[in-house]
Amino acid sequence: MKATAKAHTNIALIKYWGKRNESIILPTNSSLSLTLDGFYTTTTVDFSEEYTKDQFTLNERPIEGEQLRRVTGFLDLIRQHAGKSLHAAVHSVNEVPTAAGFASSASGFAALAAAGSKAIGLDLPERELSALTRQGSGSACRSIYGGFAEWEMGTKEDGSDSYAVPIAPAEHWDLRVAAVVLSSKMKKVSSRTGMKRTVETSPFYQGWLDSIPAEMNQIKEGIKELDFEKVGEVAEANCLKMHATTLGANPPFTYWHDTTMTVMETVREMREKGIPAYFTIDAGPNVKVLYLPENEEVIKNTLRTIPGVADIRLSRPGQGVTYL
Ligand code: 2P0
């Protein structure tokens, strides 16, 4: 009982930042993302009576410890769903350079959920597959779809109404993303730890939550109308609000570096010169720059010259989960 699936990572334009249930991963706010073609994971899951325990290889290296436990825990959900108790061999290959600051957990859990559920004989509708994927890693539930996807937070305690839905396919709009990779590293507060601390201690957290519904409406209008300024302005403002919550946390923290701020300033300067570009930043120091295809050269060349920038990785809108 074997299946292989490929899933791409995504970049959130309206961020997921906080959980209301940590064990089945239910968020405190809805989020919206663009799936990216440049970064993906391909995973094969093989359920068999021959295996006496689960095995997991990542880029052909056997994985033990916490990473294996997360995969095994997720396979348990799939087994429960299917009413089967077979063990599995999982082989994943990641084309998500960790240095680029994209979480490989999004493409990783989307590919694992798709391959695992297919291998065990489940034929899940996309929403159910998304809700299952969510329980591996929140942001992964959006990677089931190509293009733009919204994770509707839902209100039910059991999470059955918390899944992603498609907003517009990759073909709708050739909106591009430049991942600006910084050369220096900083001790990282994981996104799990960071969002938990912020929810529990930041007095700014309620302000964050209050701002989401209007921003969500605006960005969906902007996507529908192909209005780059509207989408960029909302995405940038939403990112800044998310990061502002971390400064109010106890103990306070920030994901930003000096170079992070220099890149943000360079993006603002490009806009002043008439080159449309906007930034967004996840739970790390790297900046993602949103731009349109006609400005690719100038964006790339400008970002490259910033001291402290190691690399620029360009990406287009990507497809949802596919089975190989
Ligand atoms: C996002 N991030 O919407 C936000 C923006 C980081 C900042 O989703 O605990 O790895 O596995 O549900 O999805 C990163 O958190 O967290 C994240 P879990 P996840 O993309």
Rounded to the nearest whole angstrom, what is the distance from the C-alpha of residue 52 to the centroid of ligand 1? 33
Q: Check whether 283 has a pLDDT greater than 90.
A: yes
Cis peptide before 169 (omega within 30 of 0): no
Atom of ligand 1 nearest to the CA of 31: 3
Cβ of residue 42 lying under 6 Å from some atom of ligand 1: no
Ligand 1 pocket mutation, candidates 34, 134, 137, criterion most atoms within 8 A of CB: 137
pLDDT band at 7 (very low <50, low <70, confident <90, very high): very high
Residue 138 CB–ligand 1 contact under 6 Å: yes
pLDDT number for residue 187: 65
Query: Is the Cβ atom of 303 under 6 angstroms away from ligand 1?
Result: no
Atom of ligand 1 nearest to the CA of 103: 10
In sequence order, which residues have a C-beta less than 8 Å from that of residue 198 and are 6 or more positions away? 17, 18, 205, 245, 246, 248, 249
CA dihedral angle for residue 85, residue 116, residue 144, residue 138, rounded to 10 degrees: 50
| 286 CA to centre of ligand 1 in angstroms | 15
- Does any ligand 1 atom lie closer than 6 A to the CB of residue 34? no
3-state secondary structure of 174: coil
- Ligand 1 center to 9 CA (angstroms): 11
Question: For a pLDDT cut of 90, what percent of the chain falls above it?
Answer: 95
pLDDT, tens only, 254-265 = 999 999 999 999
Nearest CA to 298 out of 263, 270, 268, 261 is that of: 270
Q: Is the pTM of this model over 0.85?
A: yes
16, 36, 236, 256, best to mutate for ligand 1 pocket (most atoms within 8 Å of CB): 16
The pLDDT assigned to 184 comes to 73
Which stretches does DSSP call E strand in the chain? 2-14, 19-21, 26-27, 31-48, 55-58, 61-62, 87-94, 148-152, 163-168, 176-182, 278-281, 287-291, 309-315, 322-323
| Chain center to CA of 165 | 15
pLDDT at 117 over 80: yes
For the residues 90-95, what does the mean pLDDT come to?
96
The DSSP code sequence of 224-281 is: HHT-HHHHHHHHHHHHHHHHHHHHTSSS------HHHHHHHHHHHHHHHTT---EEEE
Q: What is the pLDDT of residues 217-239, one digit of tens each?
A: 999 999 999 999 999 999 999 99
* Terminal Cα-to-Cα distance of the chain (whole angstroms): 14
- What is the average pLDDT across 167-183? 96
Atom of ligand 1 nearest to the CA of 105: 10
Contact predicate 102/184, CB 8 Å? no
CB burial string 151-160: b at 16+ within 10 A, e below? bbbbeeeebe
Pocket flag, ligand 1, residue 150 (CB < 6 Å)? no
Structure tokens, 135: 């329980």
**pLDDT tops 70 at residue 99:** no
- State yes or no: pLDDT of 98 exceeds 80: no
